[in-house]
Amino acid sequence: MTVRRALTSTAITACLAATAALPATASASGLYGGLGGVYTNFDDASNDTYYGTRLYGGYDFFGIPAVMRLGLEGGYTRTGKFEDNGGTDRYNNADVGLQGTITTLPLINFHGRAGYEWGDSDGAVFAIGGSMAVFPLTRVRAEYQERNDFQAGMLSIEVRLP
């Protein structure tokens, strides 16, 4: 338990330090938001794995065009159902974190995110994934999330404002 707390504290400290280190005049890359489905897998082998939903949004506060972006992202995740003491239950969690995105090709981006979640499960959130442009302002995004009590795979549609 103390290792998990140390990782959470380190992730939050790194997010805040990176945010504070960036100049206030950096060019912003814009707002974005998305809606997706998540496939949750709980740490307890006796629990079931089901589908849930995720709503998220973010703001890129620093960017180098066609190379990289750095921003904050927050979201709400409602997991799939799982067995809990003879009944079924779901987790409802909010999260916020620092996200870095690298553009490798004109249509493809890769990203990583570190943050904190709270709600039915509190703790660190780490994610890695990528997205591909399908329309001028719309992307399909896939992501693997390592959360406090479960892992999740997400597939979503993301819209970015210019």
Of 129, 147, 45, nearest to 91 by C-alpha is 147
pTM value?
Answer: 0.77
**Which residues of the chain are under the pLDDT cut of 70?**
1-29, 43-49, 84-87
What digits encode the pLDDT tens for the residues 129-157?
A: 999 999 989 999 999 999 988 889 999 99
Predicted confidence at residue 27, as pLDDT, reads: 39
Instruction: Please count the structural domains in the chain.
Output: 1
- In the chain the beta strands, taken as DSSP E runs, fall at 30-42, 51-64, 68-78, 82-84, 87-89, 92-105, 108-119, 123-135, 138-146, 150-160
Predicted confidence at residue 97, as pLDDT, reads: 97
Predicted confidence at residue 101, as pLDDT, reads: 95
Predicted confidence at residue 142, as pLDDT, reads: 98
Predicted confidence at residue 106, as pLDDT, reads: 75
> Rounded to whole angstroms, how far apart are CA atoms 97 and 115?
4
- CATH number, domain with residue 29: 2.40.160.20
